[in-house]
Amino acid sequence: MYSNKKSILVIGALGQIGTELTIALRAKYGVDAVIASDRHPANEKTTEAGPYAQLNVLDKAALQTLVQEKSITYIYHLAAVLSATGEQNPLMAWDINMQGLLNVLEVAREEKLEQIFWPSSIAVFGPDAPKVDCPQDGVTNPSTVYGISKIAGEQWCRYYFEKYGLDVRSIRYPGLISYSAPPGGGTTDYAVAIFHEAIKTGSYECFLAEDTRLPMLYMDDAIRGTLELMEAPAESISIRTSYNLSGLSFSAAELAAEIQKHKPELQVTYKPDSRQAIADSWPQSIDDAVARKDWGWKPKFDVGLMTEDMLQNLGELYANA
């Protein structure tokens, strides 16, 4: 369990998950307890929000100095190259995803940190995995470099736990849907872009086919689940690689129809590109029974609630822009 005093470093704090996780951690543990970091230099927005450090996670010495200077005890390491960008430059993706994680694990071991969070992904599963309700221990064999880096990363997390007792915890996130910060370079990004276009232009050309069904999760649920996992008693954590987590599963056409209930004028066309092959290699839905049993995971948002919340929040953001 968390002690009262903690010093938390979020790596990749300006990304899709990092933006919201940093806010949630600051709301829970205090603004000054959470240092946001990213490879981008500080600006007015980042420094006004709370402590910020420019950090390239590939620079292990800089990471270690920051951890020592700020007496960091917890790291949430979110910086990664996602599936679609990874296929454009596989060796770069491998380097950033693997070396970044290894630097965090090594610094955590050397500095005896209390807890680490690192996200894995449904991309660990490839074409051999069950398509429907893919179980926790389903065969993986990923076909993207992103998936390969995630399955290798999961094994490194387990290794550091078993060999050094490092308390690393992880979730295999499905596609995440949120309105605060855009995703970048993923295959599930269409499910965010379609909301923006529904509000801005009323038309959207989808890069996946209409019957492509993928596992997804609303960001509110993802953040709550992450905090719940990190606060769960260590003895209830039976998975030291990464937990399957499920929330939503819909096809591109089903999502479009849900948005059209509120925005009937929305026109959607489908023009699959290279991301279709990645989507086709992944499961359509995930079985998260182990997370439910171990630490009580339960999503709150169904596709209807998620759609209402996205449209309302994005509508307000665009109205005030």
Report the interface residues with ligand AKB, using CB under 6 A: 82-83, 121-123, 146, 173-175, 186-188
Smallest gap from Cβ 7 to ligand AKB, in A, equals 28
Active-site annotation holds for 76: no
Q: Give the nearest distance from C-beta 303 to ligand AKB in angstroms.
A: 17
Q: 181-192: b or e for each residue (b if 16 or more CB lie within 10 Å)?
A: bebebbbbbbbb
Contacts of residue 194, defined as CB under 8 A and 6 or more positions apart, other chains included, come to 204, 206, 252, 255, 256, 259, 268
- Residue 142: which residues within 8 A CB-CB, separation 6 or more? 123, 124, 125, 126, 148, 150, 151, 281
CA geometry: angle 58, 82, 286, nearest 5 deg: 125
Indicate the residue among 214 and 256 with the shorter CB distance to ligand AKB: 214
Compare residues 173 and 195 and give the one whose CB is closer to ligand AKB: 173
- Phi, psi of 251, rounded to the nearest 5 degrees: -90, 165
Contacts of 83 (CB under 8 A, 6+ apart): 121, 123, 144, 146, 147, 185, 186, 187, 275, 278
Closest CB to ligand AKB among residues 52, 282? 282
What tokens appear for 57 in the block? 């996670």
Q: Name the catalytic one among 52, 74, 76, 146.
A: 146
Whichever of 93 and 105 has its CB closer to ligand AKB, that residue is: 93
Strand 168-169 to strand 115-117: parallel, antiparallel, or no bridges (unpaired)?
A: parallel
Residue 80, token pair as written in the block: 């990664």
67/310 with CB nearer ligand AKB = 310
CB of 16 to ligand AKB, least distance (A): 8
Pairing of the two strands 168-169 and 175-177: unpaired
Calpha distance 275→189 (Å, rounded): 10
CB of 73 to ligand AKB, least distance (A): 27
Least distance (Å) from ligand AKB to the CB of residue 80?
Answer: 8
Give least dist CB 170 to ligand AKB, A.
Answer: 12
Q: Do β-strands 168-169 and 171-173 pair in parallel, antiparallel, or remain unpaired? A: unpaired
The residue with its CB nearest to ligand AKB is: 186
Report the residue number, 126 or 186, with the smaller CB distance to ligand AKB: 186
Q: Which residues are catalytic?
A: 146
